[in-house]
Structure 1
Amino acid sequence: MAERTDRAEGERRVWPCRIAAVLVLAVVAAMMAGCSGAREPGTGPATAPTSPTSPTSPPAPSGDASPSDEPAAAVPHPVSLPALAQTAFDGGRLRLGAEVARTARHRQYAVTYRSAGLTVSGRLAVPEGPGPFPAVVLAHGYIDPRIYVNGQGMTRERSWFGDQGYVALHVDYRGHAGSDRDPSGGLDMRLGYTEDVVNAVLALRGWDGPVDDERIALVGRSMGGGVVYNALAVTPGLVDAAVVFAPVSSDAVDNFERWIRPDPARDGVARRILRRYGEPSANPAFWQGVSARTYFGEVTEPVLIHHGTSDDSCPIRWSRTTARLMEQAGVDVTLRTYAGEEHAFGPEWNLSMERTGRFLRRHLP
């Protein structure tokens, strides 16, 4: 591939009905295999697709089938991307607070908006001038919520976008900074963060500020890259493009095994996750249902991935696999690699932003 594996709906979009058909097949396959993983009491079994490489292929039609012979649509596990795709997203009420920073080209404000009935805080960069301006929603990487402060994690990117003439909304996520607490207690596999990012797009569109509603992109770093993958999968057509830097794996199992299970500080949440949803080997349908790669066939936006070859936090093989699977699913994806660059991006950060600018100018004309 030579490293190139290279709307506007403001409301929710429910996935095509073929997802439901595949979910039914997944349930049948799981029953035949004798899989009976743990589940949340009262919610029913996980019914996510069992094949992450071809999750959205509809079953072959039967010549003898009639409408009455078709199976009823399966109900997805409540903690799954299919369930999130059916959500009535309610982002709005973007409110500007105090001005917290300023350059010659833009100003930044503390902000709040509504997401799933919660108040979520963030930072907003607004270019000088009348606009309207293209916009980006920024999804930051993992920082312990107990020490996270408003706007932390993508300070360089937020300032760069503001100076380049973009409105940039940095999402703190629920449970962070001035946001309301995370009602899931960490058991929603971070799908709540995905909901907050989707609702941030809707909040920007509902704001009476200088935003061009037809030119919005998602930008994520590390864990935030995974959040962006999720958002693209559950709301195809919501935005125009996406960029991720040093992203986590598009497979939820990789991320759980890399950070959550082995971390003594998160031993409690790891045990609760396994108790509720089961080990990946025992309940693969659930883990596929919270993995973005299972639904790459739903993604309609071009994606740019930046990754350093010396990243010891998120290994570059994850992005190579993600790019390959996206390409196989028909996604317009570009993987840019940076020799010797580590997770946080240092010497090559300027180059990565120049490439980001060119990519967004092409897709947010």
Structure 2
Amino acid sequence: MRRTCQRVAALLIASLALAATAAPPEQTATALLDHLQAGDAQAAEAMFTPELAKAAPADTLRALWRSFGEPRGRGTAQVTPHQGMQVVVQPLQFASGELTAQVAVDAGGRVAGLTFRPVAAPAAAAPDVPAGADYREQPLDIPTAKGTLPGTLALPTGKGPFRAVVLVHGSGPQDRDETIGANRPFLDVARGLAAHGIAVLRYDKRTHARPQDFSGTDYTVDDETTDDAVAAVAALAGTAGIDPRHIYVMGHSQGGMLAPRIARRSGSVAGVVLWSAPARSLLTLLPEQNRYLLGLDGQISADEQAFLDKLDRQIAAARGTAPVAAADLPLGQPARYWQSFEAIDPVADARTLAQPILLLQGGRDIQVVDTDWQLWKRGLARQRAVAFRHYPALNHLGIAGEGPGTLNEYAIPGHVAPTLIDEVAQWIGAQR
């Protein structure tokens, strides 16, 4: 998976509009893909804006396309306008799996952006609410200025009004259950808290529900997460049966890092739960995580070291001031995204909150480690309304296991530990 992600790193660049008469955008995208499939990367590059041609020259295109394997077909293209361009989303089938090509076509008909992303297998439908449960689930969509995000509200039975929680995802294009491998931690938490009489709203993250919103380079972590979470709090506060004085934000991983920021911007949050929340920048965590994972077999190969060296260079570029194409930055994310991330100090943000805070950390977490946990404890030691809960056997997803943590255990079906859910419910119930 690691090497696949490297091969399909996003190639994104801003466009310069040209005054020529343009062909329909789907026709332009088809011609581009035809050139690549025919092995004519030079012809494909000739369709690019100068900026994209510089970021993705023909040799790079040719190697990238070949890495996908034998083409097997294409699905139906969809076209969406975005920031003065037309973004063509084209499903592609290869012998090695499925990809989605996103081709941004400017007003002059030139290709201003090209992204290839792996298509995750669709998650199976969530299991039905158990018979006899003391809660029900109902749709609750999140209206925003940039499009509606679909969501689900787990609502306890009874008259209410009920205390309520908004769940905020970790990094990546997460669905409302935060499906990771064989696990659905948000489904576990939502139904577990609902069984305790607490309503829970979970929703599809924008990068999952509306990936077309990220086809350019002018977006930030607030566009990805913060603004939608604030909208989710507002939607929940206006829902019948919810106590608007007791709405809490429970953020997991990146969502936990941003929970204090969400609470401050909302102004309607009664408290925050920081679950496996980084205390440091993602650009600091990325090399640590990769070095740990690559070293699990006891050695780091020359190719792996080359990958780590490249990541270090990308991180240095992301922290620098010189203009850099998104393709040359970590995870293929544009400079403005990383700049917005680097400006956030999650511990300082938490210290400014007047609302109560609950922090949860697993002892087997390999993504947010004890260094972060200690930074949280030291940084919030003097805060009056802060509670800490540490679970030695739990991993990043709140699932129990044994031995050193690995990514492989995410593929093993499990459930968020009932103790964690119970203690969150007790903490919310104790707030006045």
Q: How would you bin the TM-score normalised by the shorter chain?
A: 0.5 to 0.7
Return the alpha-carbon distance in structure 2 between the equivalents of residues 301 and 224 of structure 1: 17
Q: How does 1:26-175 map to 2 (within 5 A)?
A: 101-103=128-130, 104-142=133-171, 144-145=172-173, 148-152=174-178, 153=184, 154-175=186-207
Contact 1:186 1:269 in 2 (8 A): no
Unaligned runs of 5+ in 1: 1-39, 41-98
Q: Tell me the residue number matched to 1:346.
A: 399
SS at match of 1:182: helix
Q: Tell me the residue number matched to 1:245.
A: 275
Q: Which amino acid letter does the alignment assign opposite residue 129 of structure 2?
A: R
Say yes or no: does 1:337 pair with 2:390.
Answer: yes
Contact 1:106 1:125 in 2 (8 A): yes
Return the alpha-carbon distance in structure 1 between the equivalents of residues 288 and 193 of structure 2: 31
1:155 deviation in Å? 0.9
* Larger radius of gyration between Structure 1 and Structure 2: 2
In 2 relative to 1, CA 257–194 (structure 1 residues): closer, same or farther, beyond 3 Å?
A: farther
Q: Which amino acid letter does the alignment assign opposite residue 327 of structure 1?
A: A
In 2 relative to 1, CA 301–294 (structure 1 residues): closer, same or farther, beyond 3 Å?
A: same
Q: How does 1:201-280 map to 2 (within 5 A)?
A: 201-207=233-239, 209-235=240-266, 237-255=267-285, 257=287, 262=311, 270=330, 275-276=335-336
In 2 relative to 1, CA 164–340 (structure 1 residues): closer, same or farther, beyond 3 Å?
A: closer
SS at match of 2:279: coil
Return the alpha-carbon distance in structure 2 between the equivalents of residues 289 and 151 of structure 1: 29
Return the alpha-carbon distance in structure 1 between the equivalents of residues 195 and 231 of structure 2: 24
In 2 relative to 1, CA 296–241 (structure 1 residues): closer, same or farther, beyond 3 Å?
A: closer
Match of 2:372 among 318, 322, 328: 318
Return the alpha-carbon distance in structure 2 between the equivalents of residues 227 and 182 of structure 1: 20
Q: Which amino acid letter does the alignment assign opposite residue 291 of structure 1?
A: D
1:210 deviation in Å? 0.7
Q: Which amino acid letter does the alignment assign opposite residue 309 of structure 1?
A: G
Contact 1:122 1:151 in 2 (8 A): no
Unaligned runs of 5+ in 2: 1-13, 15-125, 179-183, 291-309, 315-325, 401-415
Contact 1:233 1:292 in 2 (8 A): no
Q: Tell me the residue number matched to 1:35.
A: none
- Deviations along 1:194-246, one digit per CA (max 9) or x if unpaired, are 11111111111123x211111111112222212313313444x4211111222
Contact 1:101 1:108 in 2 (8 A): no
1:114 deviation in Å? 1.3
1:171 deviation in Å? 2.7
In 2 relative to 1, CA 204–190 (structure 1 residues): closer, same or farther, beyond 3 Å?
A: same
1:163 deviation in Å? 1.4
Q: Which amino acid letter does the alignment assign opposite residue 350 of structure 1?
A: P
In 2 relative to 1, CA 100–338 (structure 1 residues): closer, same or farther, beyond 3 Å?
A: closer
Q: Tell me the residue number matched to 2:64.
A: none
Say yes or no: does 1:301 pair with 2:375.
Answer: no
Return the alpha-carbon distance in structure 1 between the equivalents of residues 144 and 265 of structure 2: 16
Instruction: Please report the TM-score for the alignment, with normalisation by the length of structure 2.
Output: 0.51
Return the alpha-carbon distance in structure 2 between the equivalents of residues 181 and 227 of structure 1: 23
SS at match of 1:141: coil
In 2 relative to 1, CA 258–268 (structure 1 residues): closer, same or farther, beyond 3 Å?
A: farther
Q: Which amino acid letter does the alignment assign opposite residue 253 of structure 2?
A: S
Q: Tell me the residue number matched to 1:191.
A: 222
Q: Tell me the residue number matched to 2:80.
A: none
1:141 deviation in Å? 2.3
1:322 deviation in Å? 2.2
Return the alpha-carbon distance in structure 2 between the equivalents of residues 323 and 246 of structure 1: 13
- Deviations along 1:256-307, one digit per CA (max 9) or x if unpaired, are 555798499x9655386575588xxxx8xx6652333343342111111111
Instruction: Please report the TM-score for the alignment, with normalisation by the length of structure 1.
Output: 0.60
Which structure exhibits the higher relative contact order, with contacts defined as CA atoms closer than 8 Å and separated by 6 or more residues?
1
SS at match of 2:373: helix
- Deviations along 1:121-157, one digit per CA (max 9) or x if unpaired, are 2221111222111111011223x42xx4443341100
Return the alpha-carbon distance in structure 1 between the equivalents of residues 246 and 269 of structure 2: 7
In 2 relative to 1, CA 270–332 (structure 1 residues): closer, same or farther, beyond 3 Å?
A: same
Return the alpha-carbon distance in structure 1 between the equivalents of residues 263 and 384 of structure 2: 11
Contact 1:296 1:331 in 2 (8 A): no
Q: Which amino acid letter does the alignment assign opposite residue 278 of structure 2?
A: V
In 2 relative to 1, CA 242–164 (structure 1 residues): closer, same or farther, beyond 3 Å?
A: same
Contact 2:329 2:335 in 1 (8 A): no
SS at match of 1:220: strand
